[in-house]
Amino acid sequence: MTEIKDIAIIFSAIILEAAPFLMLGSLIAAIIEIFISSDAIVKMIPKNKILATMAGLGLGFLIPVCDCAVIPVARKLLKKGVGINVGITFMLASPIINPIVLFSTLYAFYDVNMSVFWYRLLGGILVSMTVGIILSLLYKDKKILLDNEEESCKCGHNHFHSHDNHHHEGCNHHHGNSCHHHEESVCHHSNDIENRPSKFKAISDKIISILDHTVREFLGVFVFLILGALIASIVQVLLPQNIWDYFSSNSVLSITILMIFAYLISLCSTSDSFLGKSLLANFSEQSVLAFLILGPMIDVKNTIVLLGSYNKKFVISLISIIFITVFIYVLGGMIL
């Protein structure tokens, strides 16, 4: 019985902690959806693959979102037409190289082992870029996103909102609001030329439109977060005692074990540094580094969330390549 209560507590904590960030990610995705056209995004990204991947990295630094919030944002960018290398590099790098996580890592390791901070930063950059480029080569011209009905408006038009230069079919006017004011094929846009709304109405319509998209984005990911959090909390509570003792002495095996551990326990990237620091007592620096690089990039919770947006084959490739790349990076560092 105590186990059930512990699972419920850990599950609730993960949801309560992740929901605000998921909401933030959904809000950013909604703003991208409403205010930035696909053309504008594609124009912003350099044509050169390496430079484009670095642009993804830059986005990861500038948009301070954690591993939960980054998924809807990355999905939106990919839907808007950015390359896989850009979207995936952004998705993997952001939870490690954003300023909040850098700060917590610096704080945790400042007086213990600063090399962990630097190698985590470097690993976050190199691994995310490598995985992004490899996947863009493997999935060139292939569809990786699932068709998600939740994101589509049911107004009968095959596009959304408030960009400046488009028309609804059948309506001879521009509009500046969400399309959710349609009923059947009749248009009831509130900014009809004959019935121009007040400024206040226009702003409130815009806010409702943003909230509308935020709710859709949020729901599209939240159900998968629930499933992921459920699995993560069960693993956390039912993990046997002393399970890692047998592996900590073998350095190569301990790297693998801490990678699996990071994958299973699904910690937030802003808090894993403190656990990583305590793991230094029993595990090698390289193992802890693997734990700190892999965990924010992929875990059980995010795997389930990703499966709700990307096709299964792509998710399996993504997880496998992340594991292999992190392992090679850490092992390479050990040999050097």
Partner 1 sequence: MKEKLLGIYFIIMGLMIYILYFVGYLNNFLASKMIVFSLITGVIFLISGILILCNKIRNITLKKDSLLLIVPVIMIFVAGNGELSLELAKKRANNLALTGVSSTQSFTDTESDVVLNNNEEVLYELNDSNYVITLNKLYENIDNIEGSKIIIRGFTIKDTSVITAGYFIIGKYIVSCCVADAGVVGILVKEELISVNDNEWYEIEGVINVIEDNTGSKTIAITPTTIESIESENMYVYQTYAFLQGDYN
Q: Which residues make up the interface to partner 1 (CB under 8 A)?
A: 2-6, 8-17, 19-21, 23, 107, 110-112, 149-150, 153-155, 180, 208, 211-212, 214-216, 219, 222-223, 226-227, 230, 232-233, 236-237, 239, 241-245, 265-268, 270-272, 274-275, 277-282
Smallest distance from the beta carbon of 257 to partner 1, in angstroms? 11
For residues 22 and 52, which CB has a smaller minimum distance to partner 1 in the complex? 22
In whole angstroms, give the CA distance from residue 66 to residue 21: 7
- Structure tokens belonging to residue 99: 């300023």
Smallest distance from the beta carbon of 70 to partner 1, in angstroms? 16
Three-state secondary structure of 17-41: HHHHHHHHHHHHHHHHHHHCCHHHH
For residues 174 and 180, which CB has a smaller minimum distance to partner 1 in the complex? 180
Smallest distance from the beta carbon of 149 to partner 1, in angstroms? 5
- For residues 283-302, b (16+ Cβ closer than 10 Å) or e, as one string? bbbbbbbbbbbbbbbbbbbb
Three-state secondary structure of 195-218: HCCCHHHHHHHHHHHHHHHHHHHH
For residues 53 and 189, which CB has a smaller minimum distance to partner 1 in the complex? 189
For residues 17 and 122, which CB has a smaller minimum distance to partner 1 in the complex? 17
In whole angstroms, give the CA distance from residue 195 to residue 244: 69
For residues 37 and 271, which CB has a smaller minimum distance to partner 1 in the complex? 271
Smallest distance from the beta carbon of 51 to partner 1, in angstroms? 35
Smallest distance from the beta carbon of 107 to partner 1, in angstroms? 6
Smallest distance from the beta carbon of 38 to partner 1, in angstroms? 22
The identity of residue 118, as a single letter, is W
For residues 132 and 228, which CB has a smaller minimum distance to partner 1 in the complex? 228
In whole angstroms, give the CA distance from residue 70 to residue 59: 11
Helices (H), the chain: 2-35, 38-44, 49-62, 70-79, 84-97, 99-109, 114-138, 199-238, 251-265, 272-279, 285-297, 300-307, 312-335
